[in-house]
Structure 1
Amino acid sequence: MNIIVSGGGTGGHIYPAITIIRTIQEKYPDAKFLYVGTKRGLEADIIPKEGLPLATVDIQGFERHLTPDNLRRAGKAMMGVAKAAKIVRDFHPDAVIGTGGYVCGPILLAASLLHVPTLIQEQNVVPGITNKILAKFVTRIAAGTEEAKKHFPAGKVVFTGNPIRREVMSARREESAAAFGFDPARKTVLISGGSRGARSINRAMIDVLVQAARQPEVQYLHVTGKQEYEDVMARLEAAGLDLAQTKHIQVRPYLYDMPKAMAMADLAVFRAGATGLAELTARGIPAILVPYPYAAENHQEHNARALEAAGAARMILNKDLTSERLGAVLTELLSDDDKLMAMAEASRSMGRPEAAADIAEMVLDLASHR
């Protein structure tokens, strides 16, 4: 069985794709995979390290208004479709999967036109333009949220949830706390703006951490992102916070084992990317969400509002984020166990830890009818 998987640009498109691949491999060890991405995206670095073959298509997203550069990109898109068609013909896939990013457009369109079964996995509440267009051509659509279903043809779409890494569910609180030198009996707050960090969250956390230094009953693990780390450390030092003397507060540039951090978290301060939210809800972690304001289609705000409406999270818009506002919400939630527990239950009710397995079954079913 041959399967093409395409997803590019950000980890939010790539890691769900890898999770689906690994899940299919468990069910069908002889399956052969080809990952299709771009040379510019993170996939060019991540996919070879995963031991997966990578083919690339040269394509870029269009700007939202008419520009001369868009004409050049349109030409590349046409060439991209032609190259994608050659990739499909040469690999002879039984199914093609797309997890998001502009590169999915040419490869899934080419596969559909060549009558290969296709599936897109839509992670966000509001789909991007690429998946809205592809919905007219693909065979099936796996929606990460119930809200997303209304944007797609009813006969094609199935609510599966978003795929998450197996380690997210297997990590245990006591072992994870010990790995960070934390006390598993104390409440723990996990702060992360994603792999690249979020300056607005990092800046707002400075005064919050200074205040938290005097309250050792709550532990804080703040992941700044590599590019932001030195600035955050300098600001904390200028504010008089000596992290060597505050063992209940840790500031890290990056975490290679986020599942362990989540396993010990009682509350999270996060952006609102679909993959991060899928992992938080799978574990039932209440969250304070600060959506990235420049995400395509403003999808992070829509994602955050869905969790807030369900009672699983509180949202603070990026423009409204201050140390005072963030500190007040943290204090409110951490001082009210009943409220925090209700949020955890609401979060857990939205989680779909079995999503990867369900999507894998859909793909195998499509491939079997090739």
Structure 2
Amino acid sequence: MHNYRFIISGGGTGGHIYPAIAIANELKNRYPESEILFVGAKGRMEMEKVPEAGYIIEGLWISGIQRSLSFKNLAFPFKVLASLWKARNILKRFRPDVAIGTGGYASGPLLKMAELKGIPCVLQEQNSYPGITNKWLANKASKICVAYDGLDRYFPANKIVKTGNPVRQDLLSITAKRDEAQVFFELNSNKKTLLVLGGSLGARSINKLIENKLTYFAKEGIQVIWQCGKIYRDTYAGYCNDTVHVLPFISRMDLAYAAADVIISRAGASSVSELCIVGKPVLFIPSPNVAEDHQTKNAQAIVRDGAGLMLKEAELEDKFEEVFGEMITSISLQETLSKNIKHLAKPDATKEIVDQIEVLLKRQSLV
């Protein structure tokens, strides 16, 4: 039995947190005696989600730079220095064999200090356009696991391994869960089901769209599972009825995907990777409010392969009913989208990432 120590950092949104947890679960599965410590940003989502998954997490006093002029930016240099110092102390105390970063504020200071201490570092980049943190860390990283082609424009080509993004393993068997899903969500098996996903924090523009189209959906005989996000719970809870199921958060995503005939979704990297596994027709509505417009780039990569449809937020008012109407009524379009998006799936991504970590462990043992 190997008693390895792994330190993992990633957070801010579910797109960074869930891949980190998936990697930790696979490491624990292979090395039950290993110790795993997470490092996150104080006050962010990972400080809640990681302990829920059964892991210990320590928080750094770090945040991103505000894009607009803000007094908060004045504190940024102090936060970086404080976080680098704390990260150094955590590494000195924990002495990890490998450090793993999945992006987000906290992974910058932690992985930078790990690199300086000579600890092998693995980066996992979910997006087709990398975040600032991973670009900053790339030159000294040992391996960079990616989900899209063409990232040698941003990272050293000899370090890149295309593994795909980690996804929940319970999504691999959703076809067999259709009946269970319809009972779970109290759905009518004779109606088409639309699943609406706005990301882990919810999406204001998607919520407004669905609110405005409820009459249209009712007229077309479509029932809706609508994940509105926790901060929008009170705003939209009143729309619940027999055919509209409004949920701030979906705990059983496997059943939500199993129930869906078609899906409307943001285009965060983790969502896109999950939707490839799920293999249902998807209309992507990328968030325009993210760094370097990376969600649009993620969605475009799918659309180019004829594996999904996309509307920008600015197009929703004029084009939504036309584009969505064809997707929900055309069986041939649904079959084409499903077949093509499944071709892009990488169900073994988590295992392949951990295989790369094992390469580094073996290399370490030979030193």
TM-score (normalizing by structure 1): 0.91
- Going from structure 1 to structure 2, the CA distance change for 1:210 and 1:109 (only over 3 Å counts) comes to same
Distance 2:151 2:334 in 1: 27
**How far is the alpha carbon of 1:309 from its aligned partner?**
1.2
Q: Is the 8 A contact 1:281 1:347 kept in 2?
A: yes
**How far is the alpha carbon of 1:41 from its aligned partner?**
1.0
Match of 1:260 in 2: 255
Q: Is the 8 A contact 1:2 1:94 kept in 2?
A: yes
Distance 1:341 1:195 in 2: 28
Q: Is the 8 A contact 2:41 2:105 kept in 1?
A: no
1:289-328: CA deviations, max 9, x gaps? Answer: 1111111121111111111111122111122222x53222
Question: Pairwise mapping of residues 48-63 of structure 1 onto structure 2 (< 5 A)?
Answer: 48-63=51-66
Match of 1:153 in 2: 156
- Going from structure 1 to structure 2, the CA distance change for 1:328 and 1:65 (only over 3 Å counts) comes to closer
Q: Is the 8 A contact 1:142 1:158 kept in 2?
A: yes
Match of 1:240 in 2: none
Matched, 1:176 2:181: yes
Secondary structure of 1:213's counterpart equals helix
TM-score (normalizing by structure 2): 0.92
Distance 1:95 1:250 in 2: 44
Secondary structure of 1:161's counterpart equals coil
Q: 1:115 aligns with which of 118, 124, 144?
A: 118
Partner amino acid for 1:62? I
**How far is the alpha carbon of 1:334 from its aligned partner?**
1.3
Match of 1:277 in 2: 272
Larger CA deviation: 123-132 vs 313-322: 313-322
Q: Is the 8 A contact 1:192 1:223 kept in 2?
A: yes
Match of 2:229 in 1: 225
Which consecutive unaligned segments of at least 5 residues does structure 2 have? none
Q: 1:342 aligns with which of 336, 343, 364?
A: 336
Q: Aligned Cα RMSD in Å?
A: 2.0
Matched, 1:289 2:293: no
Distance 1:147 1:262 in 2: 30
- Going from structure 1 to structure 2, the CA distance change for 1:74 and 1:66 (only over 3 Å counts) comes to farther
Matched, 1:197 2:192: no
Distance 2:245 2:66 in 1: 40
Match of 2:308 in 1: 313
Larger CA deviation: 129-138 vs 139-148: 139-148
Matched, 1:38 2:33: no
1:169-191: CA deviations, max 9, x gaps? Answer: 23322222222122456532111
Which consecutive unaligned segments of at least 5 residues does structure 1 have? 237-242
**How far is the alpha carbon of 1:69 from its aligned partner?**
4.9
Q: Is the 8 A contact 1:272 1:291 kept in 2?
A: yes
Partner amino acid for 2:270? T
Equivalent residue pairs, number? 359
Question: Pairwise mapping of residues 67-106 of structure 1 onto structure 2 (< 5 A)?
Answer: 69-106=72-109
**How far is the alpha carbon of 1:288 from its aligned partner?**
0.9
**How far is the alpha carbon of 1:122 from its aligned partner?**
0.3
Identity of aligned residues (%): 35
Secondary structure of 2:287's counterpart equals coil
- Going from structure 1 to structure 2, the CA distance change for 1:68 and 1:214 (only over 3 Å counts) comes to closer
Q: Is the 8 A contact 1:8 1:42 kept in 2?
A: yes
Partner amino acid for 1:208? K
**How far is the alpha carbon of 1:26 from its aligned partner?**
1.2
Q: 1:353 aligns with which of 326, 334, 347?
A: 347
Q: Is the 8 A contact 1:184 1:264 kept in 2?
A: no
Q: 1:327 aligns with which of 318, 321, 332?
A: 321
Partner amino acid for 1:319? A
1:123-157: CA deviations, max 9, x gaps? Answer: 01100111111001111000022243432111000
Distance 2:210 2:42 in 1: 35
Partner amino acid for 2:231? Q
Matched, 1:19 2:22: yes
